[in-house]
Amino acid sequence: MQPLHHIISTREYSREMLDEILDMAEKLEPIARGEKTTKIMDGKLLALLFFEPSTRTRMSFETAMLRLGGQIINMGSVEASSIAKGESLADTIRVVSRYADAVVLRHPREGAALMASEFSSSPIINGGDGAGHHPTQTLLDLYTIRRESRLDHLNIALAGDLKYGRTVHSLCYALSRYGAQINLVSPRELELPKRIVDDLKARDIKVHIAHSMEDVIEEVDVLYMTRIQKERFPDPAEFNRVSNSMRITEELIEGCKPNLKIMHPLPRVNEISPAVDKTEHAAYFKQAFYGVPVRMAILCKVLGVDL
Amino acid sequence: MQPLHHIISTREYSREMLDEILDMAEKLEPIARGEKTTKIMDGKLLALLFFEPSTRTRMSFETAMLRLGGQIINMGSVEASSIAKGESLADTIRVVSRYADAVVLRHPREGAALMASEFSSSPIINGGDGAGHHPTQTLLDLYTIRRESRLDHLNIALAGDLKYGRTVHSLCYALSRYGAQINLVSPRELELPKRIVDDLKARDIKVHIAHSMEDVIEEVDVLYMTRIQKERFPDPAEFNRVSNSMRITEELIEGCKPNLKIMHPLPRVNEISPAVDKTEHAAYFKQAFYGVPVRMAILCKVLGVDL
Amino acid sequence: MQPLHHIISTREYSREMLDEILDMAEKLEPIARGEKTTKIMDGKLLALLFFEPSTRTRMSFETAMLRLGGQIINMGSVEASSIAKGESLADTIRVVSRYADAVVLRHPREGAALMASEFSSSPIINGGDGAGHHPTQTLLDLYTIRRESRLDHLNIALAGDLKYGRTVHSLCYALSRYGAQINLVSPRELELPKRIVDDLKARDIKVHIAHSMEDVIEEVDVLYMTRIQKERFPDPAEFNRVSNSMRITEELIEGCKPNLKIMHPLPRVNEISPAVDKTEHAAYFKQAFYGVPVRMAILCKVLGVDL
């Protein structure tokens, strides 16, 4: 196995590379579930540098590393660190990357992970860089689709904020490696940027643009929901109208395929009615869990640990 | 040994169940002291979700889990997590309980731990839910009494804020399993709620209500002190009068039994004079330490680990 | 090996004691780099009590303890702990020192570590106490000089804020054990206190007081730079003039010795031009890393663990 030096974006990953990571994640699932234990990361140290709040990404990386037998050091919040004294990100990276064997970086600034990789003595894993990339989210989304539905001949709807949501942008490119049909459901104000639609079409992906959930709900295998943020709308009334029309309720999914799986990167606010949680369609909590085996696979790749 | 699925409250625990946990804690004390090492929790992961500040409860759970050979993931402060984005407690629990083998939850809202247990994929341990319960505190209080004094035929004074203090409420019920004589010493404004007094009497517990420490200090084996909060009193002068009258000083304990043990759940502010710290009567720092073996026992019960 | 009970200050350490710690650090370097693994701290627990923000000191202690096979408990920020409820430092220490095998304390108040050692059940390691001491910084500074330059017949310049910088004060005393020539370069307002200059001279150290970097740059083996804080100057224009004159640039080091090593305790703001980072003279990031093997050595001394 060839180690990946840094994990900045999955944009250029081939289908073979994606499959290799998903295969590793599947092998690691029993360890992620605590059904098997291992020490393959014994003596390895992972540093967490989160310049923004996070629960799922941070805690699932911690879970992944600890269940593999490794250890964690955590910068903690920006307020608890020397960053408050005016240290540059480059200097922080230079120091912390000398302590640990790999560094997970979350930062509000687009491009921060790529920049960090230039100053780092150990591999950087991008844990989300603002409007930029969040490669481990994309990989866990793919993994969830493979585990709960299917990656080949997939018919998927991406719904919600398709304009600003980095999660759906990256997922589109990854799905394009598998030839999916992609339905884009959003308010007109929040459509997927035209350059991404063009990129998908150039890759022979069938793209269907819709503005109502009802238009697509009966056909799709997977419905990937994302949050619409109030701040995107100058008029609160307009936000309310739009967010209500994009909500997933029991009524909406009445005519859906029996195997429909609903996904969401979480946290949700009210995009999905709690009544949906108890149905077989709800895959969003499993999706959050799948972050653990997928991040385990990423850690193994980055640290050059064979399974 | 039968694992306990969740630890929400000790209210309904039988004497046998209490004794079993205290016996386990006693066996685990050498490990808690670092005199012996073990790996019985190897491969196990404990999640800490503290929605309120805590030093003792959180750090003693960490100590307990790590000294047993397990590992920890910690949500950190609410500000550092996705909670700030408006995620519900139910969703946070659903996600985090899939990462870890057990979850310690501290939350300001009464009933939060019980509610959480309905959404959790792994056992919930209540680390204090506002005015509700704090079962591991009750167990460590019982353990301290057993180790430093005696549980049978105990004569105990509970002093301070008996109205709002959840610690003393839970301790009363637990002590009632052992037939203690309970002296209640508080300002009139902060007496133990009548329904609890009635419950105790219905369990054949001798209850003595007093308003002055001097009335009881010569008779008791254990004096359990709690903090009186300034916010309870509309008039600061009244607070000062009351809190001075409830203070434990060297003079107060002059005529006490030679084996009197003084307890306090900490943090203390000025309920106990520092001059008392050096006497053989001070048991409050040992009490804080006993949180470690008791929480070890709880973790073993909850995770189904045999000693 | 005789364990050191507490590590409060290196002020009184003999050359033999300093050498012993530096020798241990050198042996531990492969473990610090992750090239070798060990479990010599298996079953040991280190508590971190940081009452002030810190990145390097805290994370390098964590790295040191974890790479030695030990474990960590961390109080977290003051806001996340019971300190907010008004607990005294003495009580916090009494409790936490019963959980762990050793305690690292950082506190803004001078003398806090010494005071804490009086109430602690386990060894206290001073992680910086305000204007007081920061012994592990002094030891890693010495270690860096030994590894990157030389301790015997050293010609060193200490530059920047020599009046308030506790780092340079402690380093002066430590260097005096090795007979260095010390050049002091600062603005007139921030000269080294006269009592320290007198102490150094009494120890037969050659002291040269200068006010310009150009005066010393060609002669020295090591240039130790520290940050000048804006708050020290009533007049911002005066601060700007001074801090510009004390800056290390590529031009400044043009005529320097080929083996000149530049050190800085970090974080730097703009005392050192980024252009200097790429030169062979820059030792400040290595210096930050050397905190790991040096703190490993300290932990071994304090916990009585033989190599």
Same-domain status, A179 and A244: yes
Distance of CA A96 to the CA centre of its chain: 25
Mean pLDDT of C44-67: 96
**Considering only CB atoms, which chain C residues are within 8 Å of A76?**
76-77
Residue carrying the six token digits 């070890």: B296
Rounded CA separation A94/A106 (Å): 16
pLDDT band for position C243 (cuts 50, 70, 90): confident
Rounded CA separation B158/B223 (Å): 6
CB within 8 Å: A81 and C55: yes
pLDDT at residue B214 in the model: 95
State the DSSP H helix or E strand holding residue B95, giving kind and residue range, or none if neither. helix B89-99
C265 preceded by a cis bond (ω within 30 of 0): no
- Contact predicate C154/C180, CB 8 Å: yes
Task: Count other Cβ atoms within 10 Å, centred on residue C275.
Answer: 13
Same-domain status, C274 and C145: yes
Mean pLDDT of A127-138: 95
pLDDT band for position A22 (cuts 50, 70, 90): very high
pLDDT > 90: what percent of chain C? 83
List the end-to-end C-alpha distance of chain B, in Å, as a whole number: 10
**Considering only CB atoms, which chain A residues are within 8 Å of C60?**
99
Rounded CA separation A78/B305 (Å): 38
> Is 80 exceeded by the pLDDT of residue B1?
no
Q: Which of residues 97-136 of A touch C (CB under 8 A)?
A: 98-101
> Is 70 exceeded by the pLDDT of residue B198?
yes
> Is 60 exceeded by the pLDDT of residue B169?
yes
Beta carbons within 8 Å of C221's beta carbon, 6+ residues apart: C149, C150, C154, C155, C156, C257, C259, C260, C261
Nearest to C60 by CA among C292, C307, C304, C303: C292
pLDDT at residue C1 in the model: 44
Number of domains in chain A: 2
Give A227 to chain C, closest Cα distance, Å: 30
pLDDT band for position C234 (cuts 50, 70, 90): confident
Q: List pLDDT tens digits, range A210-220.
A: 999 999 999 99
> Is 60 exceeded by the pLDDT of residue B197?
yes
Q: Which of C45, C49, C65, C71 to mutate to test the interface with B (most CBs of B within 10 A)?
A: C71
Give the closest of A54, A63, A274 to B73, CB-based. A63
Residue carrying the six token digits 């081939």: A14
**Considering only CB atoms, which chain C residues are within 8 Å of A71?**
66
Give the closest of C50, C53, C285 to A95, CB-based. C285
CB within 8 Å: C53 and A81: yes
Average pLDDT across chain C, whole number: 94
Mean pLDDT of C268-294: 96
Inform me whether the C-beta atom of residue B89 falls under 8 Å from chain A C-beta atoms: no
Inform me whether the C-beta atom of residue B29 falls under 8 Å from chain C C-beta atoms: no
Looking at C10-55, list the stretches that DSSP marks H as alpha helix, in order from N- to C-terminal side. 15-32
Return the DSSP state at C272: B
Task: Determine the residue of chain C that is closest to B37 in CA distance.
Answer: C43
Tokens coding A32: 């992620």
Amino acid at C207: V
Is residue A1 situated within a structural domain?
no
- Which phi and psi angles does C161 have, rounded to 5°? -90, 95
One DSSP character per residue, B5-59 reads: S-B--STT--HHHHHHHHHHHHHHHHHHTTSS---TTTT-EEEEEESS--SHHHH
Beta carbons within 8 Å of A66's beta carbon, 6+ residues apart: A72, B45, B71, B73
Flag whether C58 is marked binding. Answer: no
Is residue B254 situated within a structural domain?
yes
Amino acid at C232: R
pLDDT band for position B83 (cuts 50, 70, 90): low
CB within 8 Å: C53 and A85: yes
| Counts for chain B of helices (H) and strands (E), in that order | 10, 9
Q: Which segment of A117-131, C78-92, C231-245 scores lowest on mean pLDDT?
A: C78-92
Q: List pLDDT tens digits, range B93-104.
A: 999 999 999 999
> Is 70 exceeded by the pLDDT of residue A83?
no
Average pLDDT across chain A, whole number: 94
> Is 60 exceeded by the pLDDT of residue C279?
yes
CB within 8 Å: B99 and A292: yes
Q: List pLDDT tens digits, range A255-295.
A: 999 999 999 999 998 899 999 999 999 999 999 999 999 99
pLDDT at residue B31 in the model: 98
Amino acid at C113: A
Is residue B92 situated within a structural domain?
yes
Same-domain status, A156 and A257: yes
Same-domain status, A124 and A143: no
pLDDT at residue A1 in the model: 44
Task: Count other Cβ atoms within 10 Å, centred on residue C35.
Answer: 9
pLDDT > 90: what percent of chain A? 83
Tokens coding A285: 């909590």
Same-domain status, A185 and A216: yes
pLDDT band for position C165 (cuts 50, 70, 90): confident
Same-domain status, B123 and B199: no
Flag whether C137 is marked binding. Answer: yes
pLDDT at residue C83 in the model: 66
Rounded CA separation B162/B184 (Å): 8
Looking at chain B, list the stretches that DSSP marks H as alpha helix, in order from N- to C-terminal side. 15-32, 56-67, 89-99, 112-119, 135-148, 166-175, 194-202, 236-245, 274-277, 284-303
Tokens coding B82: 């996705």
pLDDT band for position B242 (cuts 50, 70, 90): confident
pLDDT band for position A175 (cuts 50, 70, 90): very high
Is residue B94 situated within a structural domain?
yes
Rounded CA separation C246/C271 (Å): 7
Give B12 to chain C, closest Cα distance, Å: 29
Inform me whether the C-beta atom of residue A94 falls under 8 Å from chain C C-beta atoms: yes
- Contact predicate A191/A167, CB 8 Å: no
**Considering only CB atoms, which chain C residues are within 8 Å of A77?**
77
Burial of A194 (0-12, 13-18, 19+ CB in 10 A): exposed
Is residue A4 situated within a structural domain?
no
pLDDT at residue B229 in the model: 85
Q: List pLDDT tens digits, range C171-199.
A: 999 999 999 999 999 999 999 999 999 99
Range of the domain at B238: 136-287
pLDDT band for position A241 (cuts 50, 70, 90): confident
One DSSP character per residue, A249-285 reads: -TTGGGGS-TT-EEE--S--SSSB-HHHHTSTTB-HH
* C-alpha distances in Å from residue B125, one per residue of B59, B105, B133, B141, B142: 15, 6, 11, 17, 18
Residue carrying the six token digits 């006693």: B26
**Considering only CB atoms, which chain B residues are within 8 Å of C44?**
34
Is residue C8 situated within a structural domain?
no
> Is 60 exceeded by the pLDDT of residue C154?
yes
Mean pLDDT of C48-67: 95
Q: Which segment of A242-246, B53-57, B218-222, C256-260 scores lowest on mean pLDDT?
A: A242-246
Tokens coding A101: 């064997």
pLDDT band for position C141 (cuts 50, 70, 90): very high
- Which phi and psi angles does A37 have, rounded to 5°? -115, 160
Same-domain status, C159 and C115: no
Same-domain status, C275 and C141: yes
pLDDT at residue A233 in the model: 84
- Contact predicate B271/B247, CB 8 Å: yes
Task: Determine the residue of chain B that is closest to C75 in CA distance.
Answer: B55
Is residue B8 situated within a structural domain?
no
pLDDT at residue B28 in the model: 98
pLDDT at residue B232 in the model: 81
Q: What ipTM does this complex have? A: 0.95
Rounded CA separation C297/B86 (Å): 45
Beta carbons within 8 Å of C96's beta carbon, 6+ residues apart: B55, B59, C47, C49, C73, C75, C103
Mean pLDDT of A12-17: 96
Inform me whether the C-beta atom of residue C94 falls under 8 Å from chain B C-beta atoms: yes
Same-domain status, C57 and C19: yes
Flag whether B266 is marked binding. Answer: yes
- Which phi and psi angles does C49 have, rounded to 5°? -120, 100
C3 preceded by a cis bond (ω within 30 of 0): no
pLDDT at residue B82 in the model: 64
Same-domain status, A31 and A114: yes
Average pLDDT across chain B, whole number: 94
> Is 50 exceeded by the pLDDT of residue C206?
yes
pLDDT at residue B4 in the model: 61
Rounded CA separation B103/A294 (Å): 22
Q: List pLDDT tens digits, range B230-241.
A: 888 888 888 888
Tokens coding A16: 């073979």
pLDDT at residue A280 in the model: 97
Same-domain status, B46 and B125: yes
CB within 8 Å: B77 and C81: no
pLDDT band for position C84 (cuts 50, 70, 90): low
Q: Beta strand pairing status for C71-74 and B261-263?
A: unpaired
Q: Beta strand pairing status for B45-50 and A261-263?
A: unpaired
Mean pLDDT of C78-97: 83
CATH code, A25:
3.40.50.1370
> Is 50 exceeded by the pLDDT of residue B76?
yes
Rounded CA separation A27/A19 (Å): 12
One DSSP character per residue, B159-178 reads: ES-TTT-HHHHHHHHHHTTT
Q: Beta strand pairing status for C261-263 and C155-159?
A: unpaired
pLDDT > 70: what percent of chain A? 97
Return the DSSP state at A161: -
pLDDT at residue B3 in the model: 54
Query: Which subunits have 3 or more CB–CB pairs within 8 Å of chain C?
Result: A, B
Amino acid at A193: P
Cα torsion angle, C178, C180, C185, C190, sign: positive
Is residue A276 situated within a structural domain?
yes
pLDDT at residue A26 in the model: 98
Same-domain status, B109 and B145: no
